Amino acid sequence: MRTRFARKNEIERKWYVIDAKDEVLGRLASRVASYIRGKHKPIFTPNVDTGDFIIIINAEKIRVTGNKLVDKVYQHSTGYIGNLKEKTLGDRMRKEPEKVIEDAVWGMLPKNRLGRVMIKKLKVYRGSEHAHAAQKPELIEITK
């Protein structure tokens, strides 16, 4: 019996919707990263993008456990000397909850060309409306 490897032209992509209301950030991100990579499919191949498209709605209603809203700090450098910028998770959740989810999912994807292609299959929206009704996405329930 030979191992079957996926090819680009054999991959069927589906669209899924996930409602992030009252979901824990890390658990949601790990589930989404698994779907984006295609690990839920029997044809999964690590070096081929076999994943599906994911739409996340209600990004502002996500929750975190513990004291992370105050304690978790995101840092980035502007490139200039002494310009290290810091924001807490609470600040980012108020201003850009979509970016918080995207960063959490990106942390669970490979950091290479393949990962950069995969992250483009994630669409995150603040409210309950999204612009992808034409793709007829299926609703996924995240188990608790």
Name the β-bridge partners of 73. 88
| Beta-carbon contacts of residue 13 (< 8 Å; ≥ 6 apart) | 51, 52, 53, 121
Tell me if the pTM is above 0.85.
yes
CATH class of 13-63+97-140: alpha beta
Structure tokens belonging to residue 83: 């310009």
Could you report the per-residue pLDDT of 43-77, keeping only the tens digit for each?
999 999 999 999 999 999 999 999 999 999 999 99
Q: How many residues can be counted in the chain?
A: 144
Coil, helix or strand at residue 63:
strand
